[in-house]
Structure 1
Amino acid sequence: MMITQDEARPTLDQPASPYAYFLGGTLVIEELPQNRQPPDPFRWLNAKWRCPAVYYRLVQPWLKEQGIRNTIPRWRDLSLTFVDNRTPHDYQLEALAAWNKAGRWGSVVLPTGAGKTFLALKAIAECAVSTLVVVPTLDLLHQWYARLENAFKTPIGVWYGQEKRLEPITITTYPSGWAHAETLGNQFKLLIFDEIHHLPAPSWHEIALMCASPYRLGLTATYPDAPHWLQGGKAAPETGQNFSLNGIIQDPVSLLDELVGPVLYRKHIDDLVGEQLAEYRTERIRVDLTAEERAAYDAAYNIYTGYVREARLRESHGAAWWNELTRRSARDAQARRAKVAELKLKEIVHQAQGKLTILDRLLREHPNQRLLIFTAHNRFAYQIARRHIIPVITHQTKSAERKAILEAFQLGKYQAIVTTKVLNEGIDVPEAKIAIVLGGSA
């Protein structure tokens, strides 16, 4: 059951001594005068001391020391029975120990297939407190729901779309978590972010900012890389910008460090291949552009590099030149023309027609093995689907259809699935033996 904020406040006949409560993603101290200043990050706003809820773990000892009544947490301890009898791998135990040692505050980076979900289940079992799991897609929400229900044999809450049912263990999506953080923010002691590389995106990072949870665990195989971001790579999924916390501009890594904690444990795929992960082989096949594609590429390249050179962006802005180009493109016609040319370059490379010829050959060479085909753009994915009469999964695919496609693939009814980015996000597809990456960051 969810306790409302009004229920958490003292009644009028209680003494007017200072007390702290949660309100709309912030921590508020009532009855504490302005001249009695609490420590950072509290600020005097609207005649009360306030700060973002994320700082609860830092201010809670001070509240106790000062004798300020704390009505903030609405989470509770749980009596859980963990019925998953699998034996953790050594690296999973090491990751969990590192997280516990750090006060249960930080992220773990493990490659796809290394058992990040099982690690999280172990963390939930050890903590045995109210827990909110945040995931990027509905597919992952359904996958997590099944895993949690099987592991603990207890009702699991779901909070997204039209379905809003809170339980001591609840799952939500990044969009729903952001939209309702002011409601959910003090209900859960443990906050788990699956695919945490999504969290720095605009608005979504406010989930972590507005929650008081003192335990936080981030999981991903692709943690943001600060040097790459500084050189103009993506700052976060689908963005190319930096972010502000308390008015301070931060890169994604610094933002995650503050909101969830630093990376505490990391393993690369090569560390686990041959033992926990299957052996794999990567083969790069080079494709030539057609004469028409080459001409279009050269034209776009000249526009793009010509502007960067003439504007002296590298000389004037160093490693942040690409971010400056993006900023200028919003108000300068020539910069916008260069930005359009940059997008054209990527489109030509990602959708080169020579890739279709190679794909034709690979499908013929592997008729008895199931394949996943990744592309950078929906249009190219649908072109491939029509060309080979195979199912396609994009962000436009309805949940029921997506579920039916994946089930048929698992049963061997389909040889291949073509997709864009939606299967990048930790969806289990163990039947796939070959991945063909035609474009994107799969």
Structure 2
Amino acid sequence: MIHISFDKGTILISNISQTQANNYPFLKWDKRVSSFRAMAYHYRNLILSLRKDQIEYLDVAKDFLPQNFSLQIKIEPRPYQIQALEAWINQQSNGVVVLPTGAGKTVLAILAIAKIQRPTLVHVPTIDLMSQWYEVLLKFFGNKIGLLGGGYNQLENITVATYDSALIHVPQKGNKFGFLIFDECHHLPSEQMQYTATSSIAPFRLALTATPERADGKEKLLYELCGGICFQKDIKELEGKTLAPYEVITFEVEMSENEKKLYQESRQIYLDFIRKNNINFQVKNGWQQFIQLSSRSPEGKEAFSAYLKQKKLSQSSANKLNYVWDIIIKHRTDRILIFTQDNETAYLIGKSFYLPVLTHHTKVKEREQFLSLFRQGIYSILVTSKVLNEGVDVPEANVAIVVSGSGTVREHVQRLGRILRAKEGKKAILYELISAGTSEYFVNQRRKMHSAYEKRTLEL
């Protein structure tokens, strides 16, 4: 009889003939233990295949049993949440669900937990999100909810873990959960985080995100580990119903004459180096090629320094501060989030206008205090670099000012999502500040690729 066991993020398959093993291409011979071995995520496929082939087996890999999770509070899901759950179940309870921020991905996950009835591990990227999930799961299930991360190491039948902590524990605990939920699942295909999925035997998987696409194209790995996209709704489909109606306004901001001169000089040095070395950023390794070449000579180091200088000049030109102040005055009665690409600009805005600033340097207690005061209305404005891009629930915010950002569509959809949680009478406005005549224009054009940015107002 074939014997299946769990071993440090893998499954060991013994007492299986070479002929039988050939039917399962994911099995690899491990001469160290004289058994076949596979990454743990192949467990489901192996078990289903053995059953289909009517081959007897002994499974000691699985260390979990069906549970009785009952909802303590009745949920009346929206029609699209019901559709998403059904689509996921029809895809063998594996798949990626794409819903915008504020559309109720957490509610969908709760419905899935109640349906699957297996020990569940929820993965989140930040401590803030871990706390939010903990509170919601405790409210709806009333059971003990485990925590992995932020100093906690407590496993329960429903547990919330940061990706980092799950990664540490999965070699030992990857057989204790039958259901994995990956919130903000676009993080999963990264070089390290993917092992939280590959090293677990969990046969049921739900991945949640507003934007599954990655700049490196590794969303294909996400679909391999969790199943393909089974349901998708975008911001425009839910605007004015589940999400607040919104407007996107772009200002092209003129730099000072001195800033223009410095920008053009720095950009020319950078572009000359790019052209001289035939560096093509349209190919996969273009950026890596630039980094490598720029580190090998004084000319290259000057080019890299010039690249950083022109980028900083466009992202934080002095005149942008004037626009920020004008928008603040215009929306003095609103709750405003101000986003920057870097910490330095965030702190500059905070210092200039005496505003609270949240960055990854902000201590946990201080961050919680800032967010609490914002929700209470004591603070009406928060400045942040990246820590509020995803996950943190700030439904009170209705105005966002993007002073600077990356070229990724995901980041800007996430920032838009921060102000779209519906509230009676609410209309959301996102302002983008673009330095005129700079590369920021092309960054802005890349953002327009997402359907959420099709409706926009351009103000000069």
TM bracket, shorter-chain basis: 0.7 to 0.9
Equivalent-residue separation in structure 1 for 2:125 and 2:290 (angstroms) = 26
CA drift at 1:37: 3.0
Match for residue 438 of structure 1?
Answer: 403
* Compared CA separation, residues 326 and 66, structure 1 to 2 (3 A): farther
Count of residues in Structure 1 that have an aligned counterpart in Structure 2: 401
CA drift at 1:381: 0.9
- Say if 1:325 and 1:339, in contact at 8 Å, map to a contact too: no
CA deviations over 1:390-420 (Å, ceiling 9, x no partner)? 2111111122111111111111111101111
CA drift at 1:311: 2.6
Structure 2 residue corresponding to 1:312, chosen from 264, 269, 278: 278
CA drift at 1:321: 5.5
Task: Say which structure, 1 or 2, has more relative contact order (CA 8 Å, 6+ apart).
Answer: 2
Structure 2 residue corresponding to 1:42, chosen from 27, 34, 42: 27
CA deviations over 1:34-60 (Å, ceiling 9, x no partner)? 676351111112232111111111111
Equivalent-residue separation in structure 1 for 2:361 and 2:66 (angstroms) = 40
Larger CA deviation: 270-279 vs 82-91: 82-91
The RMSD of aligned alpha carbons is 2.0
- Say if 1:409 and 1:415, in contact at 8 Å, map to a contact too: yes
The runs of 5 or more residues in structure 1 that have no matched partner are: 1-16, 230-234, 236-250
* Compared CA separation, residues 419 and 310, structure 1 to 2 (3 A): same
Match for residue 7 of structure 2?
Answer: 23
Corresponding position: 1:419 with 2:384: yes
Corresponding position: 1:398 with 2:398: no
Corresponding position: 1:255 with 2:221: yes
Equivalent-residue separation in structure 2 for 1:403 and 1:263 (angstroms) = 34
Structure 1 residue corresponding to 2:286, chosen from 305, 309, 322: 322
CA drift at 1:66: 2.6
Equivalent-residue separation in structure 2 for 1:180 and 1:133 (angstroms) = 13
CA drift at 1:312: 2.7
Structure 2 residue corresponding to 1:159, chosen from 133, 148, 154: 148
Corresponding position: 1:282 with 2:269: no
- Say if 1:328 and 1:335, in contact at 8 Å, map to a contact too: no
Corresponding position: 1:83 with 2:72: yes
Equivalent-residue separation in structure 1 for 2:163 and 2:151 (angstroms) = 15
- Give the structure-1-normalised TM-score: 0.86
- Say if 2:64 and 2:176, in contact at 8 Å, map to a contact too: yes
CA drift at 1:152: 0.6
Equivalent-residue separation in structure 2 for 1:263 and 1:413 (angstroms) = 41
Equivalent-residue separation in structure 1 for 2:172 and 2:372 (angstroms) = 36
Larger CA deviation: 143-152 vs 60-69: 60-69
* Structural mapping, 1:80-229, within 5 Å: 80-225=69-214, 229=215
Structure 1 residue corresponding to 2:44, chosen from 54, 57, 72: 57
Question: What code does the residue aligned with 2:230 have?
Answer: L
Secondary structure of 2:283's aligned partner = helix
* Compared CA separation, residues 262 and 36, structure 1 to 2 (3 A): closer
Match for residue 438 of structure 2?
Answer: none
Question: What code does the residue aligned with 2:250 have?
Answer: R
Secondary structure of 2:220's aligned partner = helix
* Compared CA separation, residues 144 and 50, structure 1 to 2 (3 A): same
- Say if 1:63 and 1:70, in contact at 8 Å, map to a contact too: no
CA drift at 1:219: 0.7
Equivalent-residue separation in structure 2 for 1:76 and 1:273 (angstroms) = 41
CA drift at 1:309: 2.2
Secondary structure of 2:77's aligned partner = coil
* Compared CA separation, residues 419 and 127, structure 1 to 2 (3 A): same
Corresponding position: 1:69 with 2:58: yes
Match for residue 13 of structure 1?
Answer: none
Equivalent-residue separation in structure 1 for 2:163 and 2:285 (angstroms) = 30
Equivalent-residue separation in structure 1 for 2:303 and 2:95 (angstroms) = 39
Larger CA deviation: 294-303 vs 407-416: 294-303
Question: What code does the residue aligned with 1:22 have?
Answer: F
Secondary structure of 1:313's aligned partner = coil
The runs of 5 or more residues in structure 2 that have no matched partner are: 406-410, 416-460
* Compared CA separation, residues 283 and 90, structure 1 to 2 (3 A): same
Question: What code does the residue aligned with 2:14 have?
Answer: E
Secondary structure of 2:247's aligned partner = coil
Question: What code does the residue aligned with 2:311 have?
Answer: K
Question: What code does the residue aligned with 2:229 have?
Answer: V
Match for residue 271 of structure 1?
Answer: 237
Match for residue 292 of structure 1?
Answer: 258
CA deviations over 1:181-225 (Å, ceiling 9, x no partner)? 102211111100100111122211111111111111111112115
- Say if 1:34 and 1:44, in contact at 8 Å, map to a contact too: no
CA deviations over 1:137-165 (Å, ceiling 9, x no partner)? 00000000000000111110001143111
Equivalent-residue separation in structure 1 for 2:43 and 2:295 (angstroms) = 41
CA drift at 1:83: 2.8
Larger CA deviation: 350-359 vs 76-85: 76-85
Secondary structure of 2:21's aligned partner = coil
CA deviations over 1:220-268 (Å, ceiling 9, x no partner)? 112115xxx3xxxxx3xxxxxxxxxxxxxxx312111111121211111
Question: What code does the residue aligned with 1:30 have?
Answer: S
